[in-house]
């Protein structure tokens, strides 16, 4: 099942969905970080923001290359 999820994550829709989910999680952690002022929450928000950006850049690259899958 993990292999199927990874294979789907490499597709354009998979990259878009994972990017949006990571962005939502990053927003949640950032909100908690602002409310509580704890640096660990900021760190978690930053990690998920970086994951969002990675998925976004891979998605843009997939559209520019015109391929269905990214490698």
Segment 25-36, tens digit of pLDDT: 999 999 999 999
How many CA within 13 A on the CB side of residue 15? 18
Phi-psi region of 38 (alpha: psi -120 to 50; beta: other; left: phi over 0): beta
Instruction: Look up the pTM and report it.
Output: 0.82
Among 6, 3, 18, smallest CA distance to 54 is for 18
- Residue pair 52/28 in contact (Cβ under 8 Å)? The answer is no
Provide the pLDDT confidence category of residue 71 given band limits of 50, 70 and 90: low
53-66 confidence digits (pLDDT tens): 999 999 999 999 88
Closest C-alpha to 40, from 49, 25, 32: 32
């Amino acid at each position: 099942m993990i292999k199927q999820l990874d294979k789907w994550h490499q597709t354009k829709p998979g990259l878009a969905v994972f990017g949006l989910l990571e962005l939502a999680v990053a927003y949640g952690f950032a909100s908690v970080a602002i409310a509580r002022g704890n640096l660990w929450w900021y760190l978690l928000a930053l990690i998920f923001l970086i994951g969002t950006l990675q998925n976004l850049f891979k998605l843009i690259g997939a559209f520019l290359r015109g391929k269905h899958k990214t490698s």
